[in-house]
Amino acid sequence: MRKADIANEVYEKIGIPKKDASDILELMLDSIKAVLQKGETVKIAGFGNFIVRHKRARKGRNPKTGEEIGITPRKVVTFRPSQVFKRYVNDAQLDEKPAVLEEAVERADAP
């Protein structure tokens, strides 16, 4: 699934224009990226946590030549799914909608 597919799902389920759905998705992703860039954790209830880990410099080895090389320190992003999300992935039927999606559709239909 790509970003365009997610925006299309929002368009179909909630009924907002495709451009607005795409803009909302882009805004959400930009917000998540900005928080992660600062080194902070993003916690999405019922989904999981995006965590920034700091890796130290270390020595590595070129597998082809066996030559030792230095690996620079860096940050990596990891995702830890919530228990709810794990249960959903392991137990859900393909035709079931996530509860959050159902609530969003109900709010969009409300007068």
Please write the tens of the pLDDT for every residue from 34-67.
Answer: 999 999 999 999 999 999 999 999 999 999 999 9
Can you tell me the distance from the alpha carbon of 61 to that of 66, in angstroms, rounded to the nearest whole number? 6
Q: Domains along the chain?
A: 3-109 (4.10.520.10)
pLDDT, position 47: 94
% the chain with pLDDT above 70: 82
Rounded alpha-carbon distances, angstroms, from residue 95 to 6, 72, 90, 91 = 17, 46, 14, 12
13 and 101 Cβ atoms separated by less than 8 Å = yes
Q: How confident is the model at residue 83 (pLDDT cuts 50, 70, 90)?
A: very high
pLDDT, position 72: 95
Can you tell me the distance from the alpha carbon of 22 to that of 2, in angstroms, rounded to the nearest whole number? 12
pLDDT at 94 over 80: no
